[in-house]
Amino acid sequence: MINQEDSGPCQTAIALARTAAATLAASGNPLAHRDADLLLAHILSIEPAAIPLFTAAVSNDQKIRFQTMVDRRLTGEPVAYIIGEQGFWSLDFYVNEHTLIPRPDTELLVEVGLKSIANLARPTVMDLGCGSGCILLSILSEHVGASGVGADISAAALDVALRNASRHSLVARTDFVESNWFSNIKKGVRFNLIVSNPPYIPAGDIAQLMDDVRDFEPTSALDGGADGLDCYHAISLQALGYLAKNGCLAFEVGVDQSAPVCALMEALGYREIEVYRDLSGIDRAIVGKKPQES
């Protein structure tokens, strides 16, 4: 709770943010200042860095809404769900409890995917398990000739992806399909790039995830089966029937998963397999080309 002594009518934005940060820090939140700033900046429709410069009065309504958000954060709910959006690549994406919150690590998959279609004028892209649509829409925002399909097993996630396509004026170049991987994707359609950041947490590790991930993010976006690799097996195999000649399959992988995922792609005949590391030096993205047709 925000200390009532500090919540008088003349309280400045910076004072409100500091009081909330102290409350969040006392609850054990290591990013209390960042979180308090993000929540207040959202309410005031300003950038977090502008909070110290915000001299206008904060209305009672704004204070009450801020208090409610801080209370939600105290329960462990991630900031992105509270404010309903998350920055990713160069765009802001709507998110809710049905979508994974886009992670900075996943921007590598966008970069690698863009590299694979850079020489094509009108590439087609498929994002399997698109969630908020962040990967597909970021790729289409950079490559103006590209069009794509986002597929997800969650209709509720697809609603969010469609809202994001609309937010970024990309509806004309996108299609969203409720599908269990390729189950509802028309036979005969070919993609120059298939990207996926599938669920890859081994089922037995989910209980040990950070509270805000385990308790708030959808399990269907996290659970990769007993060894975390179930989705890679299914997608690598099915993608063979949907890749265009010289088309690429690009995955995000979890820690220690690059060797087994490379091995299963090699076993299926994928060529020129490359592994890319994230900024922490962890193998994070894998790309392979469709096997040569005989």
Ligand X SMILES: C[S@@+](CC[C@H](N)C(=O)[O-])C[C@H]1O[C@@H](n2cnc3c(N)ncnc32)[C@H](O)[C@@H]1O
Of positions 21, 108, 125, 130, contacts ligand X by CB under 6 A = 130
Residue 157 binding ligand X, by CB under 6 A: yes
Residue 133: both structure tokens together: 């649509």
Footprint on residues 168-187 left by ligand X (CB under 6 A): 179-181
Nearer to ligand X, 32 or 135 (CB): 135
Residue 131 binding ligand X, by CB under 6 A: yes
Residue 286 binding ligand X, by CB under 6 A: no
Least distance (Å) from ligand X to the CB of residue 7?
37
Least distance (Å) from ligand X to the CB of residue 114?
15
Residue 123 binding ligand X, by CB under 6 A: no
Of positions 7, 24, 102, 138, contacts ligand X by CB under 6 A = 102
**How many CA atoms are closer than 13 Å to the CA of 42, on its beta-carbon side?**
21
Nearer to ligand X, 11 or 220 (CB): 220
Nearer to ligand X, 60 or 180 (CB): 180
Of positions 199, 228, 254, 288, contacts ligand X by CB under 6 A = 199
Residue 129 binding ligand X, by CB under 6 A: yes
Residue 288 binding ligand X, by CB under 6 A: no
Residue 100 binding ligand X, by CB under 6 A: yes
Least distance (Å) from ligand X to the CB of residue 137?
10
Residue 249 binding ligand X, by CB under 6 A: no
Can you give the binding site for ligand X, defined by CB under 6 A?
Answer: 100, 102, 106, 129-132, 134-135, 151-154, 157, 179-181, 197-199, 220-221
